[in-house]
Amino acid sequence: MKLICANFKMNLLKKDINLYLKKINNNLNNKKVIFFPSNIYIKDFHDKNYLVGAQDISFQEFGACTGDTSILQLKELGITYTLIGHSERRQFFNDDLYISKKIALAAKHKIKIILCIGESIEEFKDNKTLEILKKEIDLALKNNLKYLTTSNIIIAYEPIWAIGTNKIPTNLCIQETISLIKKYIFTTYNLKVKVLYGGSVNENNILELEKIKNIDGYLIGSSSLNPDNFLTLINKIN
């Protein structure tokens, strides 16, 4: 079954969350959906028995890290997954410095990791996609092999230029890149990983994306914010 991740980013207020929960009530049609709301709403989803994850975790377990949230605190709220290395974290919060530590912490505390990787438009145009993806994979995995298994890490391939832009790579391009990611991680780290696609997935392009054979699921940002649209979208996913 495909894995569907709904990344709300820093959107929605309490009244929107209440309405969202009302609308999706019992309507997920047995799809495997993980919600990634802002931390303050994690418990709302957990209390209704939905799978819920954090959009990020602190690289420290506890202590002097003002403004951050510890994985132990997030676990208390009910997360079983976390995104790590979303391109917005890499861009605004220098996340590359902390990704390896975050992976180790998540694995240590038995939280499943969705590692986001992806190239910029310049790198894509320069044919550097694979080089960049390998670098991001190595940074995250190479010091953490003792903690990682096929079931605790999933990759989300998200070309940065496709996030929130309504631009999307061709099916062939996505398929080839996913296949290269799987092959690289298997040959280098002996891990058979699942790979999600993320970047401007919506209810209009999902049927075309569904033709891609090696996609294991989707990471969906903007199109997860409206519950009606999101339900339409997920019902088109096998």
Interface residues with ligand PEP (CB under 6 A) are: 7, 158, 163-164, 198-201, 219-223
- Structure-token match 């992806």, residue found: 118
d(CA 205, CA 177): 19
Q: How far is the CB of 197 from ligand PEP (least distance, A)?
A: 9
Q: How far is the CB of 60 from ligand PEP (least distance, A)?
A: 24
Q: Which residue's CB is nearer to ligand PEP, number 52 or number 220?
A: 220
Q: Are strands 153-157 and 112-117 parallel, antiparallel or unpaired?
A: parallel
Q: How far is the CB of 76 from ligand PEP (least distance, A)?
A: 25
Q: Which residue's CB is nearer to ligand PEP, number 144 or number 224?
A: 224
Q: Which residue's CB is nearer to ligand PEP, number 166 or number 190?
A: 166
Catalytic residue, candidates 122, 158, 208, 210: 158
For 225, list phi and psi in degrees, rounded to 5.
-75, -30
Q: Which residue's CB is nearer to ligand PEP, number 177 or number 222?
A: 222
Catalytic residue, candidates 46, 61, 86, 88: 86
Closest by CA position to 171, among listed 226, 133, 209: 209
Residue closest to ligand PEP when measured from CB atoms:
221
Q: How far is the CB of 160 from ligand PEP (least distance, A)?
A: 10
Q: Which residue's CB is nearer to ligand PEP, number 144 or number 202?
A: 202
- Per the annotation, the verdict on 158 as an active-site residue is yes
The rounded Cα 73 to chain-centroid distance in angstroms is 20
Closest by CA position to 161, among listed 196, 124, 131: 124
Give 86-142 as a DSSP string.
-HHHHHHH-GGGTHHHHHHHHHHTT-EEEEEE---HHHHHTT-HHHHHHHHHHHHHT
Q: How far is the CB of 205 from ligand PEP (least distance, A)?
A: 11
d(CA 31, CA 23): 15
Q: Could you list the active site residues? A: 86, 158
